[in-house]
Amino acid sequence: MQTPRGARRTDTKLSDGRDLIYYDPADAPVRVPPADTRGLDAPKPQVQLRTDPLTGDVITYATHRNTRTYLPPADQCPLCPTKPGNPTEIPDHDYNVAVFANRFPSFAGPGRAEVVCFTSDHSKSFTDLSQGQARLVVETWADRVAELSARPDVEYIFPFENRGREIGVTLSHPHGQIYAYPFLPPRIRTLLARAREHRDATGGNLFADVLAAERTQGTRVVAENPTWTAFVPEAARWPVEVHLYPHRQVADIAELTDAERDDFAELYLNVLRRFDGLYGEPLPYIAAWHAAPVRVDRELGYLHLELLSIRRAADKIKYLAGSESGMGAFISDTRPEDVAETLRKAGS
């Protein structure tokens, strides 16, 4: 068991044997977790991995996920604290941050899938969190990355959040997930190949050089603080897309210093509030952490968060149609410089 730097961790088990971990502020009282009284049967996930011979991509088949909970009413939310009449995945009556092994995992055996509940308040989103609560989530991510990295069946760790029904969210409670892949995902293989080519040609790190160029040019920078910069990438694929980079190259979240964790929480909340300011309502988004692989090519990686939205106007959604889905060639209706300017104004 890891010992988080800035949080108190309490480990317990759910009635079917899955792990449940509470994360509280370091100065919080010691938590004595109640038992899960649901009497659940041990999960029997059906997961199969197949490799596409044409691309080399690994495709995961998790047929049991077709039965997972889908948009329940708020009083039956399985991520809220347990209340009379609604025993949930969180047996305690309240919590700060909670992590548990997914009941309907995308990976089982090799790999692992976890759910990260950002707050016990069903009505909030990450955007509504205080900086202290957001910082506790960062500590949670760091602790999970460190622990999952020690597993021999894990090659890549991907913390992420989906927000909004347009994105495909099946539970509206503020939460994210962590996929500990037993292989390198296709996008990461592509990024590493580009990073290797860049290193061989220039001697530099691709991600560090991209960050330096964006900070120097400045036209696509949305916001920054002493240790992080948020910018719209020059070749953004999505209608609204912002990347958040630490100024220092680190491999993963666990390597961030306390100051970098503080500054990330501040900047991330800043950017999320700009997102919600674009159209005066919560913007659907995907927040995707990119880090170095667990074992191979760690020197090529550079931790950063990619934040994207499929909403291209107040009443329009960007669909992945023929060119994007069939050829993987994105065609955008928005120009990165214009999006950056709009986001800067959204925070003023």
Residues serving a catalytic function are: 175
- Residue 77 marked as a ligand binder: yes
Q: Which residues neighbour 117 within 8 Å (Cβ) at sequence distance 6 or greater?
A: 79, 90, 95, 97, 98, 99, 173, 174, 175
- Please give the structure tokens belonging to residue 109: 């055996």
Tokens 């300017």 belong to 341
198 labelled as ligand-binding? no
Q: Are strands 228-231 and 240-246 parallel, antiparallel or unpaired?
A: antiparallel
Type of residue numbered 178: I
- Determine contact, residues 281/155, Cβ cutoff 8 Å: no
- Paired tokens of 55: 């691309």
Please enumerate, as own/partner, the contacts of 205-208 that have beta carbons within 8 Å and a separation of 24 or more: 205/249, 205/300, 205/302, 206/300, 206/302, 207/245, 207/249, 207/301, 207/302, 207/304, 208/249, 208/302
Residue 203 · residue 211 · CB < 8 Å: no
- Is 122 flagged in the annotation as binding? yes
The answer on whether 173 is annotated among ligand-binding residues is: yes
Bridge partners (DSSP) listed for residue 25: 7
Tokens encoding 321: 């149609």
Annotated binding-site positions: 77, 80, 122, 173
Annotated binding-site positions for Zn(2+): 77, 80, 122, 173
